Amino acid sequence: RKIIAHSFEMNCGKGLKESFFCFLVKTLLILSSMCGIMIAERRYERMKIGIFTDSHYSSHQVTEGARLNSQSLGKIKKAYEYFRNESCDLVVSLGDLIDTESTVDKEIENLKQIAEVIKASAIPTVCIMGNHDAFTLTPDQYYSVLGLEQPKSLHLNGVNLVFLDACYFKSGIHYAPGDSDWEDTFYPFAEELRAELGKYSEPTYIFLHQSIDPDISEDHRLFNSAEMFDIIAESGVVKT
């Protein structure tokens, strides 16, 4: 599949490396409206972060006309091999690890297979929920199956990494199993984010599944994306 890459600035001596999916990086935010893997490397205190997104793993051969879902587990394994060879310090999944199956049990089994790959890699990994993940499991169930903690902000090698869960309806209610809508997505803790960023002086990077890209249609981005952009700009610490 054609690779679409935009430079990712994280005080990096290097930008993007090989990809097995398509992906898009806009401003500071790592947006997963497309699929990909990426390596980011800092100039000073060396740190590498491997990123992959939207694997949509399922038993289906093809969905949405172009998603080769059943191949995704193998692609994730190859990604982790690449991350390991690149000596990544951290891996971030931006969500939609799994896709719809005939039963929830099958979807959980698929997630367990991904969890085994993550565990075998021995690379610290942060997984953000995507709307497909939230359609099957609650956050507690999702992270229990993965054997991971729910993401919290990290301070590593002189930078702050902030992970956001925007799997919420405009009403402020979190998606629930059987009830999610990727065209109705909202981050209800914008003021809390503003307060958190106000405490930081170091370079800060924000990761989430949903897009806040102002250049795409409204139904494909966060309902409060403009507010999020304002908060990011006002902080003065979020790298763009």
The per-residue pLDDT string of the chain (240 residues; one tens digit each, 9 = 90 and over) reads: 222 222 222 332 233 333 333 232 332 333 333 334 555 544 446 689 999 999 999 998 877 777 788 999 999 999 999 999 999 999 999 999 999 999 999 999 999 999 999 999 999 999 999 999 999 999 999 999 999 999 999 998 889 999 999 999 999 999 999 999 999 999 999 999 999 999 999 999 999 999 998 888 888 899 999 999 999 999 999 986
| E strand intervals along the chain | 12-14, 24-25, 30-31, 36-42, 48-53, 90-93, 125-127, 154-156, 159-163, 204-207
Return the pLDDT at 32.
34
Write down the pTM of the prediction. Answer: 0.81
Return the pLDDT at 35.
39
Return the pLDDT at 215.
84
Question: Of 53, 85, 97, which Cα lies nearest the Cα of 208?
Answer: 53
Q: CA 56, 122, 30 angle in degrees (round to 5)?
A: 45
Is the torsion defined by CA of 70, 76, 81, 86 positive or negative? Answer: positive
Return the pLDDT at 31.
33
Which residue in this structure is represented by tokens 């297979």? Answer: 113
- Spatial separation of the C-alpha atoms in residues 82 and 70, rounded to whole Å: 20
- Spatial separation of the C-alpha atoms in residues 151 and 58, rounded to whole Å: 24
Return the pLDDT at 38.
53
